[in-house]
C-alpha cells in the first residue's frame, strides 16, 4: 500500500549525489538501504536518518570510488531499482566478492579459533576433496576466524549436492577448525544456495562472540587504534545515544548498522559525517521492545560489539594481490607457500572473473607482527613476481634475524604438516 519512494538528486549539492528514501519503518529497513548502496561500491559521506512513528525518511550523500558525484545513468538506475517499490525482485543475491550466480555454487560457512596456517589447511582439505573454490572471503578478529567459501565440483563445475560428499567435507573441515586449541565450539555449515557474504560474516562473528575481550594485542599499531564509542541514555526522550568516532574507511556505516540490527536495536535518528580521514556517527536507538539500554552490562556489551564491528574489516598486515590464470588447487598451493614461509593470513578476498583469479591477502608473520621485506620477496619469487604483487609500500625494509625466522618457519611448517598428515591429506611431513 505504501511502497518506498526513492529520489536521486544530483543538483542540491556540489560535492555529492543525494539519495532520499521514504519508506515504512521496520526492523532492518535502514540496513537494507545501506547494504544496497554498499553493494554498488558507493561511499556515504553524510547521512541523516529520521523516523516518525512507522515511517522513516533517510538522506544519504553518496560519491563514487573516485570521490565524484554520480554521473553514470546505469548506477543511478540501479539505485532506484535496488531501493524502490520493486527492490525485492531486482535485488541480487550476488556476494560482495563477485559470485555472479550464487545458486550455481555450494556455500560453506566456517567459524573457529584463528591460528597460523589455518587457511592453508582449509584449502588443502577442499583441494583433496576435489572442490574448486570460485570465491571466498575470510575475516579474523580477536583470535577468531569466520569465512564464507563458494565451491563447485572440480570435474562437473556444478554445485556439490551429494549428501555423502557434503558430509565428508563438513566433517574434515570441522576437524581442521577444532585443531587442538579451540576452547569454543567451531562450526561448519554447508548448503546449496546464495548468501550476502559480508552480511553473513558479521552475523557469524557476532554469534561466535568475537567481541568478548581478550588481552590487548601488542601488534596493533597506532594506525589501527581503538575506536571511540560512547553510550549514554537520554532520559527525557527515552533513547539511548551512541556516539562513535574512528578512522574512516569504506563500508564503515554498513558494518556498524549490521551490528545494531543483529543486537535487535532500532535506529530512530542518526547523523553520519565522514568527509575526511575521521568518521563521526551518532545514533538514537531503542531496543525492539521499545526500551533504551537499561544496565551497565548491556552498555558495555554494546560498546564492545561496535568496536568489534569496526575492527573486523580492519586490514592488518601487508596487502598482497594475486592476479593470474585460475586453475584447480591454486589457493591450496599459494597458501601453502605462505605457511611454509611463516606468513599468517589475517584477511582474504578470493574472486574468479572468467578464467582469471583475482585474490587479495593481508599477511603478517606468525606472531602477528609486520613481515620482513626479504620474506615477501622470497614468497613472490616462489609464486611469481608478476603474479603476486605487493600493494603496500610501507612494509619493513630492515633485515630479519635469519636464525629466528627459520626456526619459526620450521616449527610453523612442521605443526601444520603433521596435522594435514593426520587427516591423510599429505604423504609425509618430514
Q: Which pLDDT tens digit goes with each residue over 32-57? A: 999 999 999 999 999 999 987 778 88
Burial class (CB in 10 A: 0-12, 13-18, 19+), 348: buried
For residue 340, what is the enclosing H or E element?
Answer: helix 330-340
Cβ neighbours, 10 Å, residue 19? 25
Find where cell 563447485 sits: 152
Nine-digit cell at 270?
Answer: 542518526
Nine-digit cell at 151?
Answer: 565451491
Distances (CA, A) of 185 to 12, 112, 170, 205: 52, 7, 14, 13
**pLDDT for the residue numbered 429:** 47
Query: CB-based contacts of 327: which residues, under 8 Å, 6+ apart?
Result: 357
**What residue segments make up the domains of the chain, in order of their start?**
1-91, 102-197+316-422, 221-314
Cβ neighbours, 10 Å, residue 200? 19
CA distance 22 to 6: 7
Closest CA to 144 of 224, 213, 202, 205: 205
Greatest pairwise CA separation for the chain in angstroms: 72
> Residues 246-281: pLDDT tens digits?
999 999 999 999 999 999 999 999 999 998 899 999
**pLDDT for the residue numbered 103:** 55
**pLDDT for the residue numbered 28:** 86
Nine-digit cell at 409?
Answer: 618457519
Find where cell 574512528 sits: 246
Burial 399-422 (b: 16+ CB within 10 A, else e): ebeeeebeebbeebbebbbebbee
Residues comprising the chain, all counted: 430
Nine-digit cell at 81?
Answer: 531499482
Pick one of 3.40.50.1110, 3.40.50.150, 1.10.3720.10, 3.30.70.260 as the CATH number of 221-314: 3.30.70.260
Find where cell 542540491 sits: 12
Query: CB-based contacts of 353: which residues, under 8 Å, 6+ apart?
Result: 98
CA distance 224 to 22: 36
CATH class of the region 1-91: alpha beta
- CA distance between the termini of the chain: 69
**pLDDT for the residue numbered 426:** 54
The reply to whether domains 1-91 and 221-314 share a CATH topology is yes
**pLDDT for the residue numbered 363:** 96
**pLDDT for the residue numbered 81:** 84
Whether 186 contacts 280, CB under 8 Å: no
Pairing relationship of beta strands 388-390 and 106-113 according to DSSP bridges: unpaired
Q: What is the mean pLDDT of each run of 10 residues along the chain (430 residues)?
A: 80 94 85 92 95 84 93 88 63 40 79 93 96 95 94 92 93 88 76 83 95 61 72 90 95 96 94 94 94 94 96 89 92 95 95 91 92 93 89 52 37 50 52
Query: CB-based contacts of 370: which residues, under 8 Å, 6+ apart?
Result: 317, 318, 364, 395, 396
Whether 93 contacts 195, CB under 8 Å: yes
CA distance 403 to 411: 12
The alpha carbon torsion through 257, 261, 262, 264 (nearest 10 deg) reads: 140
Cα 419–Cα 142–Cα 181 angle in degrees, nearest 5: 30
Whether 379 contacts 388, CB under 8 Å: yes
CA distance 135 to 81: 26
102-197+316-422 has which CATH code?
Answer: 3.30.70.260
User: Would you list the DSSP string of 1-41?
Assistant: ----EEEEESSS-SS-EEEEEEEE--TTHHHHHHHHHHHTT
Amino acid at each position: 500500500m505504501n511502497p518506498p519512494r526513492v529520489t536521486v538528486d544530483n543538483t542540491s549539492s556540489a560535492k555529492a549525489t543525494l539519495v532520499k528514501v521514504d519508506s515504512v519503518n521496520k526492523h532492518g529497513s535502514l540496513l537494507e538501504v545501506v547494504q544496497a548502496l554498499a553493494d554498488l561500491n558507493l561511499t556515504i559521506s553524510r547521512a541523516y536518518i529520521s523516523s516518525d512513528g512507522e515511517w522513516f525518511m533517510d538522506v544519504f550523500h553518496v560519491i563514487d570510488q573516485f570521490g565524484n558525484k554520480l554521473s553514470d545513468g546505469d548506477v543511478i538506475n540501479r539505485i532506484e531499482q535496488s531501493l524502490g517499490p520493486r527492490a525485492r525482485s531486482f535485488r541480487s543475491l550476488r556476494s560482495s566478492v563477485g559470485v555472479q550466480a550464487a545458486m550455481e555454487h555450494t556455500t560453506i560457512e566456517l567459524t573457529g579459533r584463528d591460528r597460523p596456517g589455518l587457511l592453508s589447511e582449509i584449502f588443502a582439505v577442499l583441494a583433496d576433496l576435489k572442490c574448486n573454490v570460485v570465491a571466498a572471503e575470510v575475516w579474523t578478529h580477536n583470535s577468531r576466524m569466520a569465512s564464507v567459501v563458494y565451491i563447485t565440483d572440480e570435474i562437473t563445475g556444478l554445485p556439490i549436492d551429494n549428501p555423502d560428499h557434503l558430509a565428508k567435507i563438513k566433517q574434515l573441515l570441522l576437524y581442521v577448525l577444532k585443531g587442538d586449541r579451540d576452547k569454543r565450539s567451531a562450526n561448519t555449515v554447508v548448503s546449496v544456495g546464495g548468501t550476502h557474504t559480508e552480511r553473513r560474516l558479521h552475523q557469524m562473528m557476532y554469534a561466535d562472540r568475537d567481541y568478548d575481550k581478550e588481552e590487548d594485542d601488542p601488534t596493533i599499531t597506532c594506525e589501527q587504534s581503538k575506536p571511540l564509542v560512547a553510550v549514554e541514555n537520554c532520559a527525557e526522550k527515552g533513547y539511548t545515544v551512541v556516539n562513535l568516532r574512528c578512522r574512516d574507511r569504506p563500508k564503515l556505516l554498513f558494518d556498524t548498522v549490521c551490528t545494531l540490527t543483529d543486537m535487535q536495536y532500532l535506529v530512530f535518528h542518526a547523523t553520519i559525517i565522514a568527509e575526511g580521514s575521521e568518521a563521526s556517527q551518532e545514533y538514537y536507538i531503542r531496543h525492539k521492545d521499545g526500551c533504551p539500554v537499561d544496565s551497565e552490562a548491556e552498555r558495555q556489551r554494546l560498546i564492545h560489539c561496535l568496536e568489534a564491528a569496526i575492527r573486523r574489516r580492519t586490514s592488518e598486515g601487508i596487502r598482497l594481490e594475486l592476479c593470474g590464470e585460475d586453475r584447480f588447487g591454486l589457493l591450496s598451493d599459494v597458501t601453502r607457500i605462505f605457511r611454509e614461509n611463516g606468513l599468517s593470513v589475517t584477511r582474504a578476498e578470493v574472486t574468479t572473473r572468467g578464467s582469471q583469479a583475482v585474490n587479495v591477502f593481508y599477511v603478517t608473520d606468525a606472531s602477528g607482527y609486520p613481515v620482513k621485506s626479504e620474506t615477501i620477496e622470497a614468497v613472490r619469487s616462489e609464486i611469481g613476481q608478476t603474479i603476486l604483487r605487493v600493494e603496500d609500500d610501507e612494509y619493513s625494509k630492515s633485515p630479519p634475524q635469519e636464525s629466528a625466522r627459520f626456526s619459526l618457519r620450521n616449527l610453523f611448517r612442521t605443526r601444520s604438516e603433521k596435522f594435514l598428515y593426520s587427516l591423510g591429506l599429505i604423504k609425509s611431513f618430514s
